[in-house]
Structure 1
Amino acid sequence: MSTEPARDPHETTPAGDPAGVVPRPDRRLLLEVGVGILLLVLVRVLVIESFHVPSGSMAPTIRPGDRVVVAKIGAGPVERGDLIVFDGTTTFARGAGDPSIDPGEQDYLKRVAGVGGDTVSCTPGGGLVVNDEPVAERWLAPGEVPCDHPFDVGVPPGRLFVLGDNRSESNDSRSHLGDPGGGMVPLEDVIGHVVWRYWPLARTGGLGD
């Protein structure tokens, strides 16, 4: 009478496989996972990116602790009123603090007040004026003045003049008028447009320019 050899009670045998043979990983599955990871990396680098905002320089529009999504491509040209994130290494890093994005980085979040060819001015007690036209800055907090020191500047081609919505707490183009470049942000330093706030959940939504 034939008998089968005793098996280890802890041994597992995949259906249809000889005991002790471990199936090889599915190469197609590994390839699909790898492609998925690559696509996620490319989306973050080329299409959209998430940023944490620690400062109050853009309040009340964007408050400390907010997390926003920035569109890097496909958001169209930069226009007055746009909310943008830019690399301020060459324009803002020499001045006082107020990094508008993650601490330790030189990325800033500001609103575009003037584009190349514009003339931007402001007087205390008056308001922001662009190309001799008053600007209704509905985004300013109640009681916030458009400027506490006068300025009148021309924006060179390929540059941007940017301001924070919370003027009294913002280190923006006004703070660097005496620096090389006059506080004007080169277009090539723009990372993208701020399009969405996803945190906190109570204030999730689009950030229309």
Structure 2
Amino acid sequence: MPDKINARRFPRSKPFEFLVLLIVAVVVAAGVRTFLVQTFYIPSGSMENTLLLNDKVLVNKAVYRFRDPARGEIVVFEPPVGWGIGPSEQEYIKRVIGIGGDRVVCCDADKRITVNGHALVEDYLFPGDAPSDEEFDVTVPAGRMFMMGDHRSDSADSRAHMDSDQGTIPVDRVAGRAFAIYWPSSRWRSLSVPSTFDAIP
């Protein structure tokens, strides 16, 4: 009859286990925040009423590792130095209107912005706002984007920086795509691309 094996039991320390789990959780959370998803709060009214002041959104940081931003997407980006960024705002959030090669014009006979000759029906604009109070005709350089806020009368976007690369920003300054509002809970919804961008040639 075989001898019984006496297993030596080591007492477990609950505080030690909790500490290990906490460290693992922090490391995982930091990895997710750095490479996958980050939260961002809305610091101004420049995207109203799509995004309200102090809304919190989820930003996909991985998607643009595989492709460039597309027209109509809402993105978080680090503005060029020439945009006169203040110390309290390290990143901006705007909508992509034009990408490399696009011709973005304001405005047509019906006072609509056109992209490659296609007039945008912008039902996401702040109520009462015109598509733009400034006229412009921009051909977006390769690797850059033309950005605008949805609250056009309260947005310091590409139109305000036409003296520098026609107001466009480099794609590599984009941190990620805002894909959902998650706070406050009453405002939860996804941030999809408006259908008006589908028909742009």
Shorter chain as normaliser: what TM range? 0.7 to 0.9
1:74: which partner in 2?
63
Matched, 1:59 2:48: yes
Residue 91 of structure 1 deviates from its aligned partner by: 4.6
**What is the percentage of aligned positions where both structures have the same residue?**
37
CA distance in 2: counterparts of 1:186 and 1:139, whole angstroms: 25
Instruction: Write out per-residue CA displacement over residues 63-87 of structure 1, whole angstroms, 9 at most, x where no aligned residue.
Output: 1121111110036531110000000
CA distance in 2: counterparts of 1:197 and 1:159, whole angstroms: 26
Residue 36 of structure 1 deviates from its aligned partner by: 2.2
Normalising by structure 2, report the TM-score: 0.81
CA distance in 2: counterparts of 1:114 and 1:27, whole angstroms: 54
2:126: which partner in 1?
141
Matched, 1:122 2:113: no
Report the 3-state secondary structure (helix = DSSP H, G, I; strand = E; otherwise coil) of the residue aligned with 1:182: helix
User: Where in structure 2 are there 5+ consecutive unaligned residues?
Assistant: 1-8, 194-201
Residue 137 of structure 1 deviates from its aligned partner by: 1.0
Letter in 2 for 1:165: D
CA distance in 2: counterparts of 1:122 and 1:201, whole angstroms: 37
Task: Kindly indicate whether the alpha-carbon contact (under 8 Å) linking 1:112 and 1:163 is maintained by their aligned counterparts in 2.
Answer: yes
Residue 90 of structure 1 deviates from its aligned partner by: 2.6
Residue 24 of structure 1 deviates from its aligned partner by: 5.6
Structure richer in helix, relative to its length:
2
Task: Kindly indicate whether the alpha-carbon contact (under 8 Å) linking 1:91 and 1:183 is maintained by their aligned counterparts in 2.
Answer: no
Task: Kindly indicate whether the alpha-carbon contact (under 8 Å) linking 1:89 and 1:106 is maintained by their aligned counterparts in 2.
Answer: no
Task: Kindly indicate whether the alpha-carbon contact (under 8 Å) linking 1:112 and 1:160 is maintained by their aligned counterparts in 2.
Answer: yes
1:132: which partner in 2?
117
- From the superposition, tell whether residues 27 and 134 of structure 1 become closer, same or farther in structure 2 (CA, over 3 Å): same
Task: Kindly indicate whether the alpha-carbon contact (under 8 Å) linking 1:48 and 1:72 is maintained by their aligned counterparts in 2.
Answer: yes
Letter in 2 for 1:174: R
Matched, 1:87 2:78: yes
- From the superposition, tell whether residues 198 and 42 of structure 1 become closer, same or farther in structure 2 (CA, over 3 Å): same
Task: Kindly indicate whether the alpha-carbon contact (under 8 Å) linking 1:120 and 1:130 is maintained by their aligned counterparts in 2.
Answer: yes
Report the 3-state secondary structure (helix = DSSP H, G, I; strand = E; otherwise coil) of the residue aligned with 2:182: strand
Which of these two proteins has the greater Rg computed from alpha carbons? 1
Matched, 1:50 2:35: no
Letter in 2 for 1:162: M
Of 162, 186, 197 in structure 1, the residue corresponding to residue 147 of structure 2 is: 162
Task: Kindly indicate whether the alpha-carbon contact (under 8 Å) linking 2:126 and 2:152 is maintained by their aligned counterparts in 1.
Answer: no
Task: Kindly indicate whether the alpha-carbon contact (under 8 Å) linking 1:68 and 1:194 is maintained by their aligned counterparts in 2.
Answer: yes
Residue 123 of structure 1 deviates from its aligned partner by: 2.5
Normalising by structure 1, report the TM-score: 0.78
Matched, 1:197 2:181: yes
